[in-house]
A and B are shown apart, each in its own frame.
Chain A
């Protein structure tokens, strides 16, 4: 079974600064996907960024980038130029061979301060 661990329950960052959210996972699979989802107070989970395990290059989406360390089973999210609208819960998630079924971490609450 896969497990996903987010060790930072809460983080805060000043507007326009950079913040990194941590995630580690455990799996015996070699091919898989990793994701970061954002959940604002509206409750709707929104995909932020996706990484395919067989790709060595770290994924980037505008202000969001990841540091994927496959050997260490680490998958951190970096948010640059933080904006007030980035305030939300962030969940790291894993998808293996079982279709697109996701295993989520416990989440990190991010507060961006003006």
Chain B
């Protein structure tokens, strides 16, 4: 596709349920990033993939959060036993290169997760 695609756009779930959020990056982009944006705040880094491997997962808040990118393209962010504090917009971004500080990340429109 022309841009970064994220599904679902909105997800409402109940506390304790399992959730998957999907990101389809721009074709050919090797680096993929997940961010979490709480209401009224700036995005916070969660995890970054270079190809299929997680190059940096230091931003994942706890072991309920996990992300995969098995074929180096589409990525899935998985949240187990959701809590109300997980409610946020989850942003995905991709870029052509990594490790060279070229700068620009291309963002999707995010998935808004609401945990009741």
Q: Mark A72-87, 1 if CB is under 8 A from B, else 0.
A: 0000000000000000
> Least Cβ distance of B114 to chain A in Å?
14
A contacts with B: majority SS:
loop
Assess the A99–B41 pair: CB atoms within 8 A: no
**A68 at the binding interface (Cβ < 8 Å):** no
CB within 8 A of A44: which of B50, B95, B97, B108? B108
Chain A residue total in the interface (Cβ 8 A): 27
Residues of A near B44 (CB, < 8 A) are 104
For the complex, what is the distance from the CA of A44 to the CA of B105, rounded to whole Å? 11
Q: In the complex, what residue of chain A is closest to B4 when comparing beta carbons?
A: A44
Assess the A101–B109 pair: CB atoms within 8 A: no
Residues of B near A107 (CB, < 8 A) are 40-42
> Least Cβ distance of A35 to chain B in Å?
7
Assess the A106–B41 pair: CB atoms within 8 A: yes
CB within 8 A of B105: which of A31, A43, A96, A100? A100
* Residues of B29-45 contacting chain A, CB below 8 A: 31, 33, 35, 40-45
**B7 at the binding interface (Cβ < 8 Å):** no
**A64 at the binding interface (Cβ < 8 Å):** no
CB within 8 A of B103: which of A4, A91, A95? A95
For the complex, what is the distance from the CA of A6 to the CA of B50, rounded to whole Å? 30
For the complex, what is the distance from the CA of A46 to the CA of B3, rounded to whole Å? 12
For the complex, what is the distance from the CA of A43 to the CA of B107, rounded to whole Å? 9
Residues of B near A99 (CB, < 8 A) are 31, 48, 50, 55-56, 98-101
**A42 at the binding interface (Cβ < 8 Å):** yes
CB within 8 A of B42: which of A46, A47, A106? A106
Assess the A45–B103 pair: CB atoms within 8 A: no
Residues of A near B97 (CB, < 8 A) are 100
Which chain A residues have a beta carbon within 8 Å of chain B's beta carbons? 4, 6, 31-33, 35, 42-47, 50, 91, 95-107
